Structure 1
Amino acid sequence: MFYRGDFVHTEELSNIEIFRDYLLAIDSAGYISHFENASTLLSRSLLSKESEDRIVLIPPGSFLLPTFCDLHLHAPQFLYQGTGLHLPLMEWLNEYAFKAEERLDQDPNLAKRVYTRLGERLVENGTGAVSLFGTIKEETNLILAETMQQIGIRAFVGKLSMDISTRPTYIESTHSESLASVRSFIDRTRALTAHLPDHARLIEPVLTPRFVPTCSDALLQGLGELAQQTGVMVQSHLAEAKDQVKAVRETRGTSDLEVFERAQLLTSRTIQAHCTYLSSEEFSRLARHGTAIAHCPLSNAYFSARQLALREALNRGICVGLGTDIAGGYSVDVMTAMRWAVGVARISDGARLDRIEGDATEPGDKTAVNTRGLGVDWKEALYLGTRGGAVALGLGSGVFKIGVPFDAQQKGTGPLDFFDIGHESVDLSPEMIEKWWCVGDIRNRTGMWIQGRQILFR
Structure 2
Amino acid sequence: MMEYRYVFRGTAFTSESPKEVKILKDYLFCINRNGLIEKMIHPDDNEYELVLHTYQWKDNFRQLSDGQYLLPGFIDLHIHAPQWAQSGTALDLPLNEWLNTYTFPLESKFSNIDFAKQVYEDLVSTLLAHGTTTALYYATVHKESSFLLASICAEKGQRGLVGKVVMDDHKQNPEYYRDPDTASALADTEEFILAVQDLAKKTKQGVYPVVTPRFIPSCTDEALRGLSALATKYNTYIQSHCSESDWEHEFAKTRFHKHDAFALHDFGLLREKSIMAHCTFLSEADVDLFAKTGTAIAHCPISNAYLSGGVLPIAHFHSKGVEIGLGTDISGGFSPSLFDNAKQAVISSRMLEDGVNPNLPTEKRGKPASRITINEAFYFATAGGGESLSLPIGRIMENYTWDVQIIDTQIPGAKLPIFSSRNQDLYDVFQKIMYHTRPENIREVWVQGVNVHVRA
TM-score tier (shorter):
over 0.9
Checking the alignment, whether the CA contact within 8 Å between 2:200 and 2:208 is kept in structure 1 is: no
Of 216-225 and 291-300, more deviation after overlay is shown by 216-225
Structure 2 Cα separation of the partners of residues 220 and 6 of structure 1: 47
Q: Which residue of 1 aligns with 2:110?
A: 104
Structure 1 segment 146-165 matched on structure 2, within 5 A: 146-164=151-169, 165=172
Structure 1 Cα separation of the partners of residues 89 and 360 of structure 2: 39
Q: Which residue of 2 aligns with 1:72?
A: 78
Structure 1 segment 291-302 matched on structure 2, within 5 A: 291-302=295-306
Residue 52 of structure 1 aligns to a residue whose secondary structure is coil
Match of 1:393 among 374, 383, 389: 389
Match of 1:37 among 35, 42, 50: 42
Residue 120 of structure 2 aligns to a residue whose secondary structure is helix
Establish whether residue 314 from structure 1 lines up as the match of residue 318 from structure 2. yes
Checking the alignment, whether the CA contact within 8 Å between 1:11 and 1:387 is kept in structure 2 is: no
Checking the alignment, whether the CA contact within 8 Å between 1:119 and 1:153 is kept in structure 2 is: yes
Establish whether residue 331 from structure 1 lines up as the match of residue 329 from structure 2. no
Offset, 1:33: 1.2
Establish whether residue 228 from structure 1 lines up as the match of residue 228 from structure 2. no
Q: Which residue of 1 aligns with 2:13?
A: 8
Offset, 1:427: 6.2
The amino acid across from 2:190 in the alignment is R
Q: Which residue of 1 aligns with 2:415?
A: 416
Distance 1:55 1:146, change over 3 A: same
Residue 355 of structure 2 aligns to a residue whose secondary structure is helix
Checking the alignment, whether the CA contact within 8 Å between 1:61 and 1:428 is kept in structure 2 is: no
Residue 456 of structure 1 aligns to a residue whose secondary structure is strand
Checking the alignment, whether the CA contact within 8 Å between 1:89 and 1:241 is kept in structure 2 is: yes
The amino acid across from 1:264 in the alignment is G
Q: Which residue of 1 aligns with 2:3?
A: none
Structure 2 Cα separation of the partners of residues 260 and 355 of structure 1: 39
Structure 1 Cα separation of the partners of residues 321 and 358 of structure 2: 27
The amino acid across from 2:120 in the alignment is Y
Structure 1 Cα separation of the partners of residues 309 and 193 of structure 2: 36
The runs of 4+ residues in structure 1 deviating greater than 3 Å are 352-361, 416-419
Offset, 1:252: 2.9
Match of 2:378 among 382, 389, 399: 382
Checking the alignment, whether the CA contact within 8 Å between 2:305 and 2:311 is kept in structure 1 is: yes
Match of 1:52 among 54, 58, 67: 58
Establish whether residue 127 from structure 1 lines up as the match of residue 137 from structure 2. no
Structure 1 segment 220-259 matched on structure 2, within 5 A: 220-259=224-263
Structure 2 Cα separation of the partners of residues 100 and 139 of structure 1: 17
Of 277-286 and 40-49, more deviation after overlay is shown by 40-49
Checking the alignment, whether the CA contact within 8 Å between 1:416 and 1:439 is kept in structure 2 is: no
Establish whether residue 441 from structure 1 lines up as the match of residue 414 from structure 2. no
Establish whether residue 194 from structure 1 lines up as the match of residue 197 from structure 2. no
Offset, 1:359: 6.3
Q: Which residue of 2 aligns with 1:81?
A: 87
Match of 1:177 among 178, 184, 201: 184
| Sequence identity (%) | 31
TM-score (norm 2): 0.93
The amino acid across from 1:125 in the alignment is H
Structure 1 segment 339-418 matched on structure 2, within 5 A: 339-351=343-355, 360=364, 368=367, 372-413=368-409, 414=411, 415-418=414-417
TM-score (norm 1): 0.93
The amino acid across from 2:37 in the alignment is I
Checking the alignment, whether the CA contact within 8 Å between 1:299 and 1:329 is kept in structure 2 is: yes
Checking the alignment, whether the CA contact within 8 Å between 1:71 and 1:323 is kept in structure 2 is: yes
Work out the number of aligned pairs and report it: 444
Checking the alignment, whether the CA contact within 8 Å between 1:5 and 1:60 is kept in structure 2 is: no
Offset, 1:53: 2.1
Offset, 1:29: 1.5
Checking the alignment, whether the CA contact within 8 Å between 1:149 and 1:202 is kept in structure 2 is: yes
Residue 41 of structure 1 aligns to a residue whose secondary structure is coil
Distance 1:298 1:352, change over 3 A: closer
Residue 24 of structure 1 aligns to a residue whose secondary structure is strand
Checking the alignment, whether the CA contact within 8 Å between 1:21 and 1:38 is kept in structure 2 is: yes
1:360-390 CA distance string (max 9 Å, x none): 59xxxxx85xxx5210010100001111111
Q: Which residue of 1 aligns with 2:448?
A: 451
Checking the alignment, whether the CA contact within 8 Å between 2:270 and 2:290 is kept in structure 1 is: yes
Residue 134 of structure 2 aligns to a residue whose secondary structure is strand
Residue 382 of structure 2 aligns to a residue whose secondary structure is helix
Any stretches of 5+ residues in structure 1 without a counterpart? Answer: 362-366
1:128-147 CA distance string (max 9 Å, x none): 00000001111011111101
Residue 300 of structure 1 aligns to a residue whose secondary structure is helix
Checking the alignment, whether the CA contact within 8 Å between 2:76 and 2:381 is kept in structure 1 is: yes
Structure 2 Cα separation of the partners of residues 278 and 254 of structure 1: 11
